[in-house]
Amino acid sequence: MSGIYIIISIVILAIIAILAIYTGISKRPKRLSKLAMLAFLLIIVGIVFGDNRLIGYSFMGVGVILAIIDIINNLKNK
């Protein structure tokens, strides 16, 4: 059962990475925004608390939503 949580987490992180690459990351590494750091932290916390479905999925869901909001904000600022 915990294997499913790990697979879901990897898929979510892969989607975020693909979106980040698609939006055009320059060769020079940029610092993550505070919102992106919070999103990444919440996803990691969701993985750690994966034993409890409600808490784990809640943290991961909020993290993904914050990551999407950050991506949209970065696209609007360009």
Instruction: Give the model confidence (pLDDT) of 44-72 as tens digits.
Output: 999 888 888 899 899 999 999 999 999 99
N-terminal to C-terminal alpha carbon distance within the chain: 42
Question: Which residue shows structure tokens 């992180």?
Answer: 13
pLDDT digits (tens, 9 = 90+) for 3-45: 788 888 888 888 888 877 777 655 566 788 899 999 999 999 9
Question: 76, 75, 3, 73: which is closest to 39 by C-alpha?
Answer: 73
Q: Count how many domains the chain has.
A: 1
The boundaries of the domain holding residue 20 are 2-77
The answer to whether the beta carbons of residues 59 and 45 sit under 8 Å apart is yes
Prediction pTM value: 0.61
Question: 1, 16, 3, 6: which is closest to 47 by C-alpha?
Answer: 6
